[in-house]
Structure 1
Amino acid sequence: MVRDDLYITVPSFFRCPISLDVMKSPVSLCTGVTYDRSSIQKWLDKGNNTCPATMQVLHSKDFVPNHNLQRLIQIWSNSLHRRVDSAPLPLSPDQARALIDEIDRSPHTRLASLSKLVCFARESEENRNVLGKIDGFVNMLVDLLGNVDGLVDEKANLAEQTMMILFSILNQYTHNSDLSDMILKSNRDCLSSMLLVLQQGSLDSRIATARVLEAIAMDAESKLVIADKKGLLSVLIRYLDPETDPSMIEAALSCLISISMPKRTKVKMVQLGAVKVLGKLLAESSSSVSSAEKVLKLLEMMSSCKEGRVEICGDRICVPAIVGKILKVSNAATEHGVMILWSVCYLFRDQKAQEAVAGNNGLTKILLLMQSNCSPSVRQMSADLIKIFRVNSKSCLSSYDTKTTHIMPF
């Protein structure tokens, strides 16, 4: 029997077009369409004279066994049974607890034990609840993370399994502040292991690590400790590439937003080239709503410091990309975008930024935004921006004085 948790995908051409089941005895009609023998025989016995799939009239009701397809189905079926027979049986909660006890007693088998616990946690919410409520389990995981030894590959494997378990039970473990203290404010060097996972781990473990870092960035001190770990900001920024898996991009963005509140962290991100990377990512038309919102949120955060504003204004892609997202993504994205433009055009009075806004239809968008149901703060920032462009004789806003005065805000 096929186990449900293997999520078997049946090739579409193995299924009978009538029954939609895997064909046991595939036969082909004169139309070239293949059916399971029993299904097409029933169709013909009812007096039908057409091909069920194409509705073509059958010149002959004879069918020919499709031996090639039958062999393919047999090979696939045999492979499937070998896969099911070799799959480990699911753990029971008691077996999971026994594995946890074994991790302490047998260091040589702890990687295998952790791998089994990862599978156990993935199986159900109930299993994750079991692990999250075991006294001392999270502390043990943090101890493992902070005392990883051996070769680099062995350290990475152990650390990534630990991170995936930590992430899987994060929602069940309600004491995030305690977890933050255990990882960041003790003598354990957990961040080195977490950085190793971000650099060398599998996609799932890298996402898990970024999410855990986001969760433990509880206060200003913890945010600084994380951001000050050498190489950590760099690797997170590196994942903000359009070619990166979207789930990894989302996790990296969320983590960076969580740790970037302190000014020195924002300045450091700017120095690492985050503005250019974010501008390129924002310009990608394929980015999701959530991703676009997070990119704009990060850029808004960096626009609050002088270094960030200088980089935003100096990047030829960034400001046009910001303008392009206003009124096109979501209310949240629009608010972040207006805040950035207000910072660089109104507060910073950067001429290049103002020209980029005017040259990318930004004035029209700001005028339309003021007629929408936006928040009072966005409305005020939009009015400030309009005033900047109104007094600029080189801008194209002069046309609005004669052609669209009915939507002018003053």
Structure 2
Amino acid sequence: MILSWRRRKATRHANKKKEFFAGENLDMGMEEIAVPTHFRCPISLDLMKDPVTLSTGMTYDRSSIEKWIETGNRTCPATNQELKSFDQIPNHTLRRMIQDWCVENRSYGIERIPTPRIPVTKYEVSRICERIAAAARRVDDRKCGELVGKIKAWGKESERNKKCMVENGIGCCLSAVFESFASISLEEHVEILLEILSVLPWMFPVSEEGQSKLGSAGSLRGFVSFLEGKDLSARQNAVLVLGKLLSLDQKHVDDFVESEGAIEALVGIIREPICPAATKAALTSVFFMISSPSAAASDEIRSRFVELGLVSLLLDIIVDAERGLCERALAVLEGLCDCKQGKDKALENALTMPLLVKKILRISELGTEFSVAIIWKLCRIETEESILIEALQVGAFQKLLVLLQVGCGDGIKEKVTDLLKLFNLHTSKVDCVDSSMDFKYLKRPFLG
């Protein structure tokens, strides 16, 4: 295979005219230049941008050989020899030769490959962790800030650098430093805390030790403080870290619930959205908070969220949010409907039943399950015939029949059957069921 570039000899005016002609006319006036074989990566056959040499003596482009190794291969692709080590030594001589060749052929439209940055190493990560920890012990904000800035710069250079840092414990180190400064004084050390917070979202997963630092009373107070603040970037980073932390251990959830202002702060993020990712993280946090194993505690937490107007906010999200956000909002709404206050507030909103019925078979299989579960909870309230009538009037009966026809899981199927039995007792009171409804051309919604 020969990789080539083509150079147009025609004038700009001629190039414009060529756009009106097809096929072979576009290839007229071209010249080809072949890339030397030893400049091409044996794996991708593309011009190497960052050539590295393995223990077998073979040279590959760094990105190609890294993908090869990451997929579980333990041999040299070209020689099939077993790799005694996975060290990748930069081949500076070959890289400079490739750059010189690019410069020599720039008249053919070939751009010079940039000099690649050397990836961060385990030693460098270990060393910077030691330096940050030492600076934190001295309560040296300035030095810590410089080192965190260097970590941010490494992360911006490549995903490989991020992966190396995460795998070598830098997340645990930063979590400990964050906890240390937050415990001393949020006001005095706000700048370094914000700097660390800007890096923490991509430091997960962190070790158990790192989790314990982020889940400490001092750190949680810091998160709440930033969630309540006016700095949008800080609010976003705080909720992103919090969403990941609370999904790891119920203890973190319980401790965060006890933090003063925590519930109000999360509702504030949902009420004044920053970005979809932040709203998703906030909803994730709320979901774990209302799903406590303790029934009494969960009811109290649910009631507090309901009092703060979360039900209406969730319904606003469900109206036109994208799939992931809508699923999370439905999940939280289902959880809130486990308490009386949640059900009452949902039924007070005229949008609730029409919206839930509409979302069946419209979002995803998971979204459908949440929608049906909420309707089931609302319609099983005793002596509330009006609820069943309303559901029938907005087409719940037909939608559930369609859901049975296209198929659904056993858990949701039981709820659908139960609802149809309830609706069947009241169908004569509402002209809602079209007996001629034809399912012949119905397509399964979860296959597309």
Q: What's the TM-score once normalised by structure 1's chain length?
A: 0.68
Counterpart position of 1:371: 405
- The structure 2 residue matched to 1:179, chosen from 204, 210, 217, is 210
Alpha-carbon distance change, 238 to 359 in structure 1, aligned in 2, over 3 angstroms: farther
1:269 partnered with 2:305: yes
Q: Distance in 2 between matches of 1:220 and 1:147?
A: 22
Alpha-carbon distance change, 165 to 144 in structure 1, aligned in 2, over 3 angstroms: farther
Counterpart position of 1:111: 145
Structure 2 unaligned segments of length 5 or more: list them. 22-116, 293-297, 441-448
Name the SS for the 1:147 alignment partner: helix
1:282 partnered with 2:311: no
Alpha-carbon distance change, 123 to 267 in structure 1, aligned in 2, over 3 angstroms: farther
Counterpart position of 1:147: 183
Deviation at 1:279, TM superposition (A): 0.7
Q: Distance in 2 between matches of 1:269 and 1:40?
A: 69
Q: Distance in 1 between matches of 2:393 and 2:279?
A: 30
Q: Distance in 2 between matches of 1:261 and 1:249?
A: 18
Q: CA deviation digits over 1:268-297, x for unaligned, max 9?
A: 2112111011011111x2x11111111111
Deviation at 1:190, TM superposition (A): 1.1
Deviation at 1:247, TM superposition (A): 1.9
Moved more, 360-369 or 241-250: 241-250
Contact 1:389 1:397 in 2 (8 A): no
Contact 2:179 2:218 in 1 (8 A): no
Deviation at 1:370, TM superposition (A): 1.6
Q: CA deviation digits over 1:53-102, x for unaligned, max 9?
A: 578xxxxxxxxxxxxxxxxxxxxxxxxxxxxxxxxx99955665555415
Q: Distance in 1 between matches of 2:272 and 2:386?
A: 26
1:231 partnered with 2:265: no
Deviation at 1:313, TM superposition (A): 1.1
Structure 1 unaligned segments of length 5 or more: list them. 1-18, 20-37, 56-88
1:249 partnered with 2:284: no
1:214 partnered with 2:249: no
Deviation at 1:40, TM superposition (A): 8.3
Counterpart position of 1:26: none
Name the SS for the 1:389 alignment partner: helix
Q: Distance in 2 between matches of 1:124 and 1:405?
A: 55
Contact 1:275 1:318 in 2 (8 A): no
Counterpart position of 2:173: 137
Aligned-partner residue type, residue 235 of structure 2: R
Q: Distance in 2 between matches of 1:49 and 1:91?
A: 42
Counterpart position of 1:342: 376
- The structure 1 residue matched to 2:11, chosen from 32, 39, 42, is 42
1:388 partnered with 2:422: yes
Deviation at 1:138, TM superposition (A): 4.3
Across the aligned residues of Structure 1 and Structure 2, the Cα RMSD in angstroms comes to 3.5
Q: Distance in 2 between matches of 1:341 and 1:225?
A: 32
Alpha-carbon distance change, 49 to 268 in structure 1, aligned in 2, over 3 angstroms: closer
Alpha-carbon distance change, 160 to 278 in structure 1, aligned in 2, over 3 angstroms: same
Deviation at 1:335, TM superposition (A): 0.5
Deviation at 1:261, TM superposition (A): 0.8
Deviation at 1:200, TM superposition (A): 3.1
Aligned-partner residue type, residue 215 of structure 1: K
Aligned-partner residue type, residue 241 of structure 2: V
Name the SS for the 1:162 alignment partner: helix
Matched length: 326
Contact 2:227 2:238 in 1 (8 A): yes
Q: Distance in 2 between matches of 1:379 and 1:362?
A: 15
Q: Distance in 1 between matches of 2:432 and 2:273?
A: 42
- The structure 2 residue matched to 1:328, chosen from 362, 366, 381, is 362
Contact 1:224 1:265 in 2 (8 A): no
Q: Distance in 1 between matches of 2:262 and 2:311?
A: 17
Alpha-carbon distance change, 49 to 213 in structure 1, aligned in 2, over 3 angstroms: closer
Counterpart position of 1:30: none
Contact 2:198 2:237 in 1 (8 A): yes
Aligned-partner residue type, residue 228 of structure 1: E
Q: Distance in 1 between matches of 2:16 and 2:244?
A: 62
Contact 1:280 1:317 in 2 (8 A): no
Q: CA deviation digits over 1:242-277, x for unaligned, max 9?
A: 864222222222222222212122222112111011
